[in-house]
Structure 1
Amino acid sequence: MFSKVLIANRGEIALRILRACRELGIRTAVVYSTADADSAAVRLADEAVRIGPSASRRSYLNAAAVVEAARKVGAEAVHPGYGFLSEDADFAEICADNGLTFVGPPPHVMSVLADKSSARALMSRAGLPLAPGAVQPVPTAAEAAAVAAEVGYPVIIKAAAGGGGRGMAVVHAPADLPRAYARTRAAAQAAFGDDRVYVERYLTDSRHVEVQLLCDAHGNGVHLGTRDCSVQRRHQKLVEEAPAPALSPATLDAIASTALRGALDVGFTGAGTVEFLVDVEERFHFLEINCRIQVEHPVTEMITGIDLVHEQFHIAAGTALRWRQEDVRFTGVAIECRVNVEDPNRGFTPTPGRLDRFVPPGGPFTRVDTHGHAGYLVGPYYDSLLAKVAVWAPDRDLAVSRLDRALGEFDISGPGMRTTIPFVRRVLDDAEFRKGRHSTGLVDRLIAAPKPAHPRRKR
Structure 2
Amino acid sequence: MTTPIQLVAVANRGEIASRVFATCRRLGIETMAVFSDADADLPFVADADYAARLPGSIPSETYLQGERIVRLVRASGGQAVHPGYGFLSESADFARAVLDGQLVWIGPPPEAIEAMGSKVRSKELMRAAGVPTLEAPAEPTESDLPLLVKASAGGGGRGMRVVRRLDDLGSEVAAAEAEARSAFGDGTVFVEPYVESGRHVEVQVLFDTYGSGVALGDRDCSLQRRHQKVMEEAPAPGLSDEVRAGMHQAAVEAGRAVGYAGAGTVEFLYDPATGRFWFLEMNTRLQVEHPVTECVIGLDLVALQIGVAEGRTLAELLPDGVPAPSGHAVEVRLYAEDPAADWQPTAGRLARFDVPADTSFDLLARHGIRVDAGYASGDVVGTHYDAMLAKVISWGPDRGSALRSLRGALRRARLHGIATNRDLLIAALGDRDTLAGTMTTSTLEHRLAKEFADLAPAGDPDFAPFVAAIALAARDTEQRTVQRGVPTGWRNVVSQPHRTTFLVSGRDEPVVAEWYGDRDGFRSAGEEDLHVIEATPRRVVVERGGFRQSIDVHIDPVTGEVHLDDDSMVRQSLRLLPRFTDPADAVASGSLLAPMPGTVVTVAVEPGDAVAAGDVVLVLEAMKMQHTVTAPHDGTVAEVNVEPGAQVASGEVLAVVATGEPEESP
TM bucket (normalised to shorter chain) is over 0.9
Shift in Å, 1:150? 9.1
Q: Describe how 1:106-255 pairs up with structure 2 within 5 A.
A: 106-133=109-136, 146-149=138-141, 152-255=144-247
Shift in Å, 1:133? 1.0
Does residue 17 in structure 1 map to residue 126 in structure 2? no
Shift in Å, 1:296? 0.3
Q: Does the C-alpha gap of structure 1 residues 443 and 67 become closer, same or farther in structure 2, counting only changes over 3 Å?
A: same
Shift in Å, 1:266? 1.8
Aligned counterpart, 1:419? 420
Q: Describe how 1:303-342 pairs up with structure 2 within 5 A.
A: 303-321=296-314, 322-323=317-318, 326-342=321-337
Aligned counterpart, 2:567? 458
Instruction: Answer yes or no: is the 8 Å Cα contact 1:391–1:402 preserved in 2.
Output: yes
Post-superposition CA distance 1:275-310 (Å, at most 9, x none): 000012220010000000000000000000010000
For 2:285 and 2:142, how far apart are their aligned partners in 1?
Answer: 35
Report the 3-state secondary structure (helix = DSSP H, G, I; strand = E; otherwise coil) of the residue aligned with 2:419.
coil
Aligned length: 446
Report the 3-state secondary structure (helix = DSSP H, G, I; strand = E; otherwise coil) of the residue aligned with 2:377.
coil
Shift in Å, 1:324? 6.5
Shift in Å, 1:455? 4.3
User: Residue 410 of structure 2 is aligned with which of 407, 427, 431?
Assistant: 407
User: Residue 396 of structure 1 is aligned with which of 391, 394, 399?
Assistant: 399
Shift in Å, 1:149? 2.6
For 2:336 and 2:142, how far apart are their aligned partners in 1?
Answer: 42
Aligned counterpart, 1:140? none
Bigger drift between 357-366 and 306-315 goes to 357-366
Aligned counterpart, 1:385? 388
Report the 3-state secondary structure (helix = DSSP H, G, I; strand = E; otherwise coil) of the residue aligned with 2:222.
strand
Does residue 351 in structure 1 map to residue 460 in structure 2? no
Amino acid in structure 1 at the alignment position of 2:291: P
Q: Describe how 1:292-311 pairs up with structure 2 within 5 A.
A: 292-311=285-304
Amino acid in structure 1 at the alignment position of 2:424: F
For 1:76 and 1:340, how far apart are their aligned partners in 2?
Answer: 34
Instruction: Answer yes or no: is the 8 Å Cα contact 1:51–1:69 preserved in 2.
Output: no
Does residue 58 in structure 1 map to residue 69 in structure 2? no
Does residue 29 in structure 1 map to residue 35 in structure 2? no
For 1:317 and 1:290, how far apart are their aligned partners in 2?
Answer: 21
Does residue 268 in structure 1 map to residue 260 in structure 2? yes
Report the 3-state secondary structure (helix = DSSP H, G, I; strand = E; otherwise coil) of the residue aligned with 2:221.
strand
Report the 3-state secondary structure (helix = DSSP H, G, I; strand = E; otherwise coil) of the residue aligned with 2:230.
strand
Does residue 439 in structure 1 map to residue 440 in structure 2? yes
Post-superposition CA distance 1:389-421 (Å, at most 9, x none): 00011111111101100101111101xx11111
Bigger drift between 237-246 and 36-45 goes to 36-45
For 1:196 and 1:385, how far apart are their aligned partners in 2?
Answer: 27
Amino acid in structure 2 at the alignment position of 1:346: A
For 1:291 and 1:311, how far apart are their aligned partners in 2?
Answer: 15
Aligned counterpart, 1:38? 41
For 2:142 and 2:279, how far apart are their aligned partners in 1?
Answer: 19
User: Residue 449 of structure 1 is aligned with which of 441, 448, 451?
Assistant: 451
For 1:351 and 1:266, how far apart are their aligned partners in 2?
Answer: 40
Amino acid in structure 2 at the alignment position of 1:20: T
Larger helix share, 1 or 2: 1
For 2:339 and 2:402, how far apart are their aligned partners in 1?
Answer: 24
Amino acid in structure 1 at the alignment position of 2:121: S
Amino acid in structure 2 at the alignment position of 1:82: Y
Over alpha carbons, which structure has the higher Rg? 2
Kindly report the root-mean-square deviation, in angstroms, between the aligned alpha carbons of the 2 structures. 1.6
Structure possessing the higher relative contact order (Cα contacts under 8 Å, 6 or more residues apart): 1
Report the 3-state secondary structure (helix = DSSP H, G, I; strand = E; otherwise coil) of the residue aligned with 1:268.
coil
Post-superposition CA distance 1:106-141 (Å, at most 9, x none): 11111111111111111111111111216xxxxxxx
Post-superposition CA distance 1:52-93 (Å, at most 9, x none): 211111000111111111111111110010001000000001
Aligned counterpart, 1:428? 429
Gaps of 5+ in 2: 359-366, 460-565, 569-666
The two structures have a TM-score, normalised by structure 2, of 0.65
Aligned counterpart, 2:356? 361
How much identity, in percent, do the aligned residues show? Answer: 44
The two structures have a TM-score, normalised by structure 1, of 0.94
Q: Does the C-alpha gap of structure 1 residues 100 and 409 become closer, same or farther in structure 2, counting only changes over 3 Å?
A: same
